[in-house]
Amino acid sequence: MARQAIISQITRCSLHDGPGIRTVVYLKGCNLRCLWCHNPENQSALVELLDQPSRCIRCGRCLTVCSAGSRVFVDGQNAWDRERCRQCLQCAAVCPNEAIVVCGQAMTEQTVYNEILKDRDYYAATGGGVTFSGGECLLQPDFVRATASLCQAKSIHTAVESAFSVPWSSVECVLAVIDLFLIDIKHPDNAVHKQLTGKGNRQILDNISRLSRCHPAVNIRVPLIPTANDSRDSLHGLADIINTCGRGIQTVELLRYNNLAEGKYRALGRPFHGFADHPQVDAALEASAAILRSRLRDDVRVLY
């Protein structure tokens, strides 16, 4: 029987989600609520609507198909009563200018695999492949395993981007079919991690420690968030954790902060929590990298 997952998007020609040119498959659903989340549309595992009023041409078509009466015009502007909405999705179907869009589509592993295959020549030429992301893709490990198995059978490199806040059984489910793990560590302190993401980090760190002793390609990623986890103490704590792990950890990558997701929060009707007005300059990232290098063991590279 074919497996299904709700996919928010499949992006092509990514250069930042593993080696080479990659196709990234975004699965909806996440069990963390990071205050800086860059993909808030993937937090819910359900299909949902994104509202973009700036694209509205006031044609009124959405009003005519909304049986719940959640679509109205107020002072000439399209307004949406989200509490009354029944998620029938008809408003998005008739919107001519993508002011209302559906986020999420049920897809089988074969359908996703067929999309991945379209860029097979790029993978071969650049050492790229497919990366499963989210949301938290390991909340659906059977789907990831099934799709990755099809890819590996065609020698397509496979990677997973994960926060690792899942049972070890979910990691073990995909272990044999994933060539590279890209794992976030948000904060080294359990209590602070819970404040920032809604959950502690003990399961995450246990999983990383265990994986690093049985898998040869584990890269740690740190979304470097101003005032949240970019202090010297936080970076030292991160290095101390990695130093206790196995030799599978090859790289620590510092990810530059940005506010590019602010529009997504507006489209979802949710508040946006900004930590800074601008991304870090290269000098600030290099200073953070230097702090890590001074504490890490020599076989781990630090990139940004």
- pLDDT, tens only, 142-153: 999 999 999 999
Q: Which band of pLDDT confidence, cut at 50, 70 and 90, is reported for residue 78?
A: confident
- pLDDT, tens only, 241-299: 999 999 999 999 999 999 999 999 999 999 999 999 999 999 999 999 999 999 999 99
Q: Residue type for 91, please? A: C
Identical topology for domains 4-45+105-303 and 48-103: no
Q: What's the pLDDT score for residue 2? A: 80
- pLDDT, tens only, 155-199: 999 999 999 999 999 999 999 999 999 999 999 999 999 999 999
Angle at CA 46, nearest 5°, toward 4 and 218? Answer: 65
Question: How high is the mean pLDDT of the chain?
Answer: 96
CATH class of the structural domain 48-103: alpha beta
Architecture in CATH of 4-45+105-303: Alpha-Beta Barrel (3.20)
* Residue 31 pLDDT exceeds 80: yes
Q: What's the pLDDT score for residue 210? A: 98
Among the listed residues 83, 99, 241, the one whose alpha carbon sits nearest the alpha carbon of residue 91: 99
List the chain domain ranges.
4-45+105-303, 48-103
Q: Please answer whether residues 181 and 138 qualify as being in contact, where contact means their C-beta atoms are separated by less than 8 angstroms.
A: no
3-class state of residue 301 by DSSP = strand
* Residue 77 pLDDT exceeds 80: no
Q: What's the pLDDT score for residue 5? A: 97
Q: What's the pLDDT score for residue 76? A: 75
Percent of the chain with pLDDT over 90: 95
Two tokens, residue 244: 């206790």
- d(Cα 156, Cα 275) in Å, to the nearest integer? 38
Buried b (16+ CB within 10 A) or exposed e, 100-136: bbbbbeebbbebbbeebbebbebbeebebbbbbbbbb
Written as one string, the DSSP assignment of 8-67 is: EEEEEEESSSSSSSEEEEEE---S---TT-S-GGGTSSS-EEEE-GGG-----HHHHH-T
| Phi/psi at 227 (5° precision) | 70, -5
Among the listed residues 215, 211, 239, the one whose alpha carbon sits nearest the alpha carbon of residue 301: 239
Angle at CA 9, nearest 5°, toward 129 and 272? Answer: 120
- Residues in CB range of 11: below 8 A, 6 or more apart: 23, 24, 26
* Residue 73 pLDDT exceeds 90: no
